């Protein structure tokens, strides 16, 4: 390579580096401007900018003063919340097994047609928030824990069925081929060749979903579906800050309980 060509190459690399530096600088400037605009919109151009230190301290003091008179009224809703999560997980598993059967490419009964149906049901379940499902079922079956259970069960279908379907698609083909070689039908292939391989995945997924439903069930009451969420909504409507904190502590304790049960259950069955 001649000296002139080398100089041109160096100049070209220098120009490319300069252009890249200018692009990076422009990106950082835009990010900084976006951050400044966000801070202005949140803390200056809204109610935050008009909150005084005294009112903020008064509100925080109200949250710190727990409402112990509310404790007897939390026992029943706490039990209801845990039962809602358990029933929703079991019902969601029952429906998810059927959806996973449709959505697993290697066992879908009618091939591509039912595969698309199964995958569409998974996507629909995961795409709609549990609060929206709660509003739908409250309007369908009325206020109460049943609406919360149905909402969380339908919301659970997407996650459980997707994990199970992908586990079915990844099973080892050896046992399946052996059952087929001795004349086994499709049901026998499913029960003795596929199910034993995916049972650990099913159990682990259901336990994990139950843990998630413990959290979901605490907010189901915000749409009238019972449990601790309903108590929380009432305290918020009454501006009882101490009661809100008391309910949140109950929610936290229930979530910790769910974490412990989920941890030991996974260790026991997986």
- Give 84-122 pLDDT, tens digit per residue: 888 999 999 999 989 988 888 888 888 888 899 999 999
Residues with Cβ < 8 Å from 48, sequence gap 6 or more?
Answer: 42
The answer to whether 108 touches 101, Cβ cutoff 8 Å, is yes
Across 247-270, average pLDDT? 78
Give the pLDDT band (50/70/90) at residue 264: confident
User: Does the pLDDT of residue 48 top 60, yes or no?
Assistant: no
**What is the structure's pLDDT at 168?**
87
**What is the structure's pLDDT at 64?**
78
pLDDT per residue over 195-213, tens digit each? 888 888 888 888 888 888 8
**What is the structure's pLDDT at 183?**
82
| Percent of the chain topping pLDDT 70 | 89
- Integer Cα distance of 136 and 223 in angstroms: 10
**What is the structure's pLDDT at 94?**
92
User: Does the pLDDT of residue 49 top 60, yes or no?
Assistant: no
CATH superfamily for domain 64-269:
MetI-like (1.10.3720.10)
What would the two tokens of residue 102 be? Answer: 């449709």
The answer to whether 226 touches 179, Cβ cutoff 8 Å, is no
Residues with Cβ < 8 Å from 40, sequence gap 6 or more?
Answer: none
pLDDT per residue over 58-71, tens digit each? 777 777 788 788 88
Quick one: angle between helices 195-220 and 130-141, nearest 10? 80
**What is the structure's pLDDT at 1?**
54
Give the pLDDT band (50/70/90) at residue 4: low
């Amino acid at each position: 390579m001649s000296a002139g060509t080398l100089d041109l190459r160096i100049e070209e690399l220098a120009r490319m580096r300069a252009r890249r530096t200018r692009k990076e600088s422009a990106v950082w400037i835009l990010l900084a401007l976006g951050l400044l605009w966000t801070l202005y919109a949140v803390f200056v151009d809204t109610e935050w900018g008009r909150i005084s230190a005294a009112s903020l301290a008064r509100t925080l003091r109200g949250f710190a003063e727990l409402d112990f008179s509310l404790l007897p009224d939390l026992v029943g809703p706490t039990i209801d919340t845990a039962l809602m999560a358990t029933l929703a997980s079991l019902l969601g598993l029952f429906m998810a097994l059927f959806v996973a059967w449709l959505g697993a490419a290697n066992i879908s009964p009618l091939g591509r047609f039912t595969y698309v149906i199964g995958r569409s049901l998974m996507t629909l379940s995961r795409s709609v928030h549990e609060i929206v499902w709660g509003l739908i079922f409250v309007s369908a079956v009325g206020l109460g824990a049943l609406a919360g259970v149905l909402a969380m069960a339908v919301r659970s279908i997407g996650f459980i069925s997707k994990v199970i379907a992908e586990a079915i698609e990844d099973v080892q083909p050896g046992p399946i081929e052996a059952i087929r070689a001795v004349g086994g039908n499709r049901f026998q292939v499913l029960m003795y060749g596929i199910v034993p391989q995916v049972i650990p995945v099913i159990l682990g997924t259901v336990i994990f979903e139950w843990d998630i439903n413990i959290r979901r069930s605490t907010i189901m009451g915000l749409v009238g579906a019972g449990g601790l969420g309903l108590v929380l909504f009432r305290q918020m409507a009454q501006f009882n800050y101490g009661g809100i904190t008391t309910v949140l502590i109950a929610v936290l304790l229930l979530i910790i309980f769910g974490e412990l049960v989920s941890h030991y259950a996974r260790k026991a069955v997986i």
